[in-house]
Amino acid sequence: MNQENHLQNRVIIDKEVSWDKTQVIMSKTNAYGIIEYANEVFVDVCGYEDYELMGQPHNIIRHPDMPKVIFKVLWENIKNGKNFHAIVKNLAKSGRYYWVITDFEIARDENDVIVNYFARRQAVPQEVIAMHIEPLYKKLLQIEAASGIEFSEKYLIGFLEEKKRTYVEYIKELIFEHEKSQSKFATYTEEEDADEEEHRGFFSRLFGR
Ligand SMILES: Cc1cc2nc3c(=O)[nH]c(=O)nc-3n(C[C@H](O)[C@H](O)[C@H](O)COP(=O)(O)O)c2cc1C
């Protein structure tokens, strides 16, 4: 089933899947992104049965609101053996959407060739999506429609250059700042803000390692 096929018979519903956002959505693919395993949370949230997922390309849950350039950067990283945290809008079988942030682990064989990818995903705060990610992705999508991925990529590069951040640094910071603003009674010092360890600690907490 390719992307076009599965989107052809798909109704897009502008409603969020209701799911337990404390859970981790996990899947395992081969080196080409073909699904080999999905945990129960994955199956529950996307609404497909196990037998509908195994053997299918991961774009089975690709949402048409996702700009291509995000997946381009994602694949460039994971193919090079680098973890990548992307904020992704996914499409459930029902046509509803769910937003996640990804975390990858990469397995290699004895010749150092990549054999599997493990993706873990968690929920993203609604405010981060509404205030920062949706407006950015909407622009990227419009640019892609008008001038192609070459120019959505150039726009993304310019956007991040202006912020002096990589994509991953930018989204980590958005989530970190949001967490900080939520914990009104926590005391954050300037030193802690500047401390890389603190950022790493935050992400370890987010992904439980
Ligand atoms: C382990 C792994 C997990 C992935 N998870 C998702 C996902 O949750 N949602 C998604 O749209 N694409 C995911 N992808 C990327 C897809 O393989 C695909 O690149 C993306 O859906 C865009 O589709 P396209 O490449 O056909 O344009 C994942 C890839 C890998 C290797």
Query: Averaged in consecutive runs of 10 residues, what is the pLDDT profile of the chain (209 residues)?
Result: 54 96 97 98 98 98 98 98 97 98 97 98 97 98 98 98 97 93 64 52 57
Closest C-alpha residue for ligand 1 atom 23: 59
Domain map (residue ranges) of the chain: 3-123, 126-207
Most ligand 1 atoms within 8 A of CB, residue of 12, 62, 116 to mutate? 62
In a 3-state reduction of DSSP, which class is residue 37?
A: strand
pLDDT of residue 163: 97
pLDDT of residue 10: 76
- What is the 58 CA–ligand 1 centroid distance (Å)? 5
How many helices (H) and strands (E) the chain has is answered by: 10, 5
Sheet with strand 97-108: strands edge to edge: 35-38, 25-30, 114-123, 97-108, 87-91
pLDDT of residue 1: 44
Interior CA angle at 208 toward 113 and 59, to 5°?
A: 50
pLDDT of residue 182: 86
pLDDT of residue 137: 98
pTM score, whole prediction: 0.89
CA distance 171 to 122: 13
Find the length of the chain. 209
CA distance 126 to 146: 28
Superfamily (CATH H level) for 3-123: PAS domain (3.30.450.20)
